[in-house]
Amino acid sequence: MASNKEMASPCSKKRRVDSLSEFVISAGEDLDTQITSCLYHLGKKDVQQATSSLERIRRFTKANHAKYALQLKEINLEISALKQKMDGLEKREKFQSRQIATLQSKVDYFKTFISFDEEFDQDESLDTSQGSQGPQDSQSSLFQGSQDSQSASLQGQQDSQNSSETPETFAQAKML
| Phi then psi dihedrals of residue 63, to 5 deg | -65, -40
Express each pLDDT in 57-106 by its tens digit. 777 777 777 888 888 888 889 999 999 999 999 999 999 999 999 999 99
- Residue 126, domain member (yes or no): no
- Residue 123, domain member (yes or no): no
Band of pLDDT at residue 143, cut at 50, 70 and 90:
very low
Residue 72's domain comprises 16-118
Rg (CA), the chain: 50
Count of H-run helices and E-run strands, the chain:
6, 0
Express each pLDDT in 105-135 by its tens digit. 999 998 888 888 777 777 777 666 665 554 4
- Residue 59, domain member (yes or no): yes
- Residue 86, domain member (yes or no): yes
- Residue 157, domain member (yes or no): no
Band of pLDDT at residue 12, cut at 50, 70 and 90:
low
- Residue 167, domain member (yes or no): no
List, as one string, the DSSP characters of 138-161: HHHHHHHHHHHHHHHHHHHHHHHT
Q: How many domains does the chain have?
A: 1
- Residue 10, domain member (yes or no): no
- Residue 64, domain member (yes or no): yes
